[in-house]
Structure 1
Amino acid sequence: MFLKSLTHWINKGLELFLVVCLAIMAILVFANVVLRYGFDSGIAVSEELARLLFVWLIFLGAVLATRQHAHIAFNSFLAKRTPTCRKLLVAISSLLMLVGGVIFVIGGWKQTLINMDNSYPVLGISYAWLYGTAIVFGVGLVLSTILNLWESVTSPTGFPGGDE
């Protein structure tokens, strides 16, 4: 029960963060377009900040989609299999996703360390904020995959996230 409540609040927090990122991006880009075409000026930080927010939006959105089972799946293929076979197939795909998540964490960590001293020209913040998304994504993917695998193994039908 605690785990379900915790994941619910983490999902809601991620959704809120994504909405805020998207709103800031939309405002920055719209304001910059109006200022450039209407007043021949612009907001200097808007391009860099919008690009950085877009990267965070994509990676955290992928973590959220993984947890909510919103990625493309072959449920019609799984539906024709026995629950034991479903669990085995979900376990195999989960193992591959875990490997991918670990690769993201390791690669993101290395890139973050390499680019720690480099900074954005206008924003002035470290590029670690860009490459750190890979670490956060990898950890989120690993945790989401473990939870999805647990749901699949404990489900009588073998479907992660509930009955199909």
Structure 2
Amino acid sequence: MINKFIHFVQIVTNIMMALLTIIVSFEVVSRYFLNMPIKQTGELVALIFPWMAFLAAIIVTKDNGHFFVSYFRNKLPEKAQIVSVFITKLIMLYFSVYMIISSFQLINISTTQKLPVLQISKAWLHYSITVAFIGITLIIVYQLYLIIAKKDLALEED
């Protein structure tokens, strides 16, 4: 189930990256070669990029690609390594839940504000934070379950 979710997120992230590349390339050609800048491209990029970056954070969390001081952890006995990873995941979980709550507050503040050119709510930009941290929270809860169930020692964070 988690792997299917991550696969879906990877597909969406890849599509967003392709869209960004096309939009920026089109804007460069339009602005510098045709001397006709397109005003919507700046806001489209500003809208799509955070979605892509925050969704990619879900993948990074699943792959344990985040920063972790493994040198010191690897010097610990195996049980202490497991405890270290578990505590790290709990801290990450706390931060993720905090970000979800904070992003809802941000959305409430920005719902009535509109992007000047596209004329859509700025909340669409901030939903990317909520969606990403809900996904990150689900991944971390799953990883904690694996540690508790001893199905995965989660020592592969390097």
Return the TM-score normalized by structure 2. 0.90
Cα deviation 1:65-86 (Å, max 9, x = unaligned) = 1011122223333333233212
- Which of 111, 133, 144 pairs up with 2:106? 111
Alpha-carbon deviation of 1:156?
Answer: 6.9
Determine the structure 1 residue equivalent to 2:6.
11
Q: Which runs of 5+ in 1 are unaligned?
A: 1-5
Q: Work out the CA distance in 1 between the residues paired with 2:40 and 2:33.
A: 18
Off by >6 Å, runs of 4+ in structure 1: none
Match of 1:122 in 2: 117
- Please report how far the alpha carbon of residue 96 of structure 1 lies from its aligned counterpart in structure 2 after TM superposition: 1.1
- Give the structure-1-normalised TM-score: 0.87
- Structure 1 residue 98 displacement after superposition: 1.2
In structure 1, the partner of 2:50 is 55
The size of the alignment, in residue pairs, is: 158
Amino acid at match of 1:54: F
Q: How far does residue 27 in structure 1 lie from its aligned partner after superposition?
A: 0.6
1:93 aligns with 2:88: yes
Higher normalized contact order (CA 8 Å, seq sep 6+, divided by chain length): 2
Identify the range of structure 1 (52-61 vs 144-153) with the bigger mean alpha-carbon deviation. Answer: 144-153
Structure 2 gaps, min length 5: none
User: Compared with structure 1, are the counterparts of its residues 136 and 9 closer, same or farther at alpha carbon in structure 2 (3 Å cutoff)?
Assistant: same
Superposition deviation, residue 16 in structure 1:
0.5
State whether residues 148 and 161 of structure 1, in contact with CA within 8 Å, keep that contact through their aligned partners in structure 2: no
For the pair 1:158 / 2:153, whether they are aligned, the reply is yes
